[in-house]
């Protein structure tokens, strides 16, 4: 059975976990859902394409475990989370940030946040929306310091991580409601486009098999990126990393 929207959410906080995604999977195995798991630090945080995700103290590391009635369009949950994050950062840190297709929230080209949406398919289809936000770190390891930034580094302020988390969860569930009522995918996409600054830019796209250059002319109704190559051909990118010069 899928979740009922509005069913009460449960929050679990930990000092340290390997990954909030792993912990969410344990809850999923027990058939549970509508759970938010957060940790002060992760020892094995991971990002897309199994990349290491640096997640020591100071960040917001959380996973939302869901049992949606539609497990085929999970990319919309990534988009819904990105919108919830941009709106919450605006409210709490008074900062305008942007979305880079498909899953990053950045500030002037530096990564503030990444989203990892994972589906667990079986008797019950669970989905885990993992969110990592650089909040109160004052410095980063040399491997990421040229690409990452925290809210504290931008605003010279320390933020209440739990307040930010609660705000994101509230905003996310407003859109999850639209996801649940399937015909509202367009609505999520429309709001997401307002905050995405990839469209219209010359980009480099790296997929598992190739590297392409072109102009990001749009995002299709299934959330894929529409890339116009130099020869005029338009291709759809379903998965990949986008490099943009800001």
Nearer of residues 53 and 76 to ligand BTN, judged by Cβ: 53
Residue 159 binds ligand BTN, judged by CB under 6 A: no
Site string for ligand BTN, 39-58 (x = CB under 6 A): ---x--xxxx--x-x-x---
The three-state secondary structure class of 27 is helix
Instruction: Tell me: does residue 61 bind ligand BTN (CB under 6 A).
Output: yes
* 75 touches ligand BTN (CB under 6 A): no
Say how many residues touch ligand BTN, by CB under 6 A: 21
Residues 6+ apart with CB under 8 A from 51: none
CB-nearer residue toward ligand BTN: 14 or 124: 14
**Least separation in angstroms between CB 198 and ligand BTN:** 15
8 A C-beta contact, residue 178 and residue 191: no
Contact between 159 and 153 under an 8 Å Cβ cutoff? The reply is no
Closest CA to 75 of 176, 223, 193, 191: 223
| Interface segment toward ligand BTN; rule CB under 6 A; list 38-46, 91-99, 162-170, 218-226 | 38-46
Q: Residue 75: how many CB atoms within 10 A of its CB?
A: 19
Which range of residues in 69-77, 109-117, 198-206, 226-234 is near ligand BTN by CB under 6 A? Answer: 109-117
What's the token pair of residue 224? 């894929």
Q: Considering the complex, state which of residue 53 and residue 173 has its C-beta at the smaller distance from ligand BTN.
A: 53
Q: Pull the structure tokens for residue 59.
A: 């960040």
């Amino acid at each position: 059975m899928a979740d009922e929207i509005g069913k009460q959410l449960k929050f679990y906080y930990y000092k340290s976990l390997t990954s909030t995604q792993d912990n969410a999977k344990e809850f999923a195995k027990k058939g549970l859902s509508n759970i938010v798991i957060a940790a002060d630090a992760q020892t094995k945080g991971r990002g897309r394409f199994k990349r290491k995700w640096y997640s020591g103290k100071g960040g917001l590391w959380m996973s939302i475990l869901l049992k949606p009635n539609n497990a085929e369009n999970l990319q919309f949950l990534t988009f819904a989370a990105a919108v919830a994050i941009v709106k919450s950062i605006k409210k709490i840190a008074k900062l305008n940030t942007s979305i880079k297709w498909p899953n990053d929230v950045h500030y002037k080209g530096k990564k503030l946040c990444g989203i990892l949406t994972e589906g667990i398919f079986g008797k019950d289809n669970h989905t885990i929306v993992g969110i990592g936000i650089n909040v109160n770190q004052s410095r980063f390891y040399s491997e990421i310091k040229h690409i990452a930034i925290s809210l504290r580094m931008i605003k010279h302020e320390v933020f209440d991580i739990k307040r930010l988390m609660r705000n994101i969860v509230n905003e996310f569930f407003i859109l999850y409601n639209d996801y649940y009522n399937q015909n509202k995918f367009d609505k999520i996409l429309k709001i997401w486009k307002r905050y995405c600054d990839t469209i219209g830019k010359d980009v480099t796209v790296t997929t598992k098999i190739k590297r392409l250059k072109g102009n990001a002319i749009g995002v299709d109704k299934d959330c894929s990126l529409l890339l116009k190559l130099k020869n005029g051909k338009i291709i759809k990118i379903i998965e990949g990393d986008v490099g943009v010069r800001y």
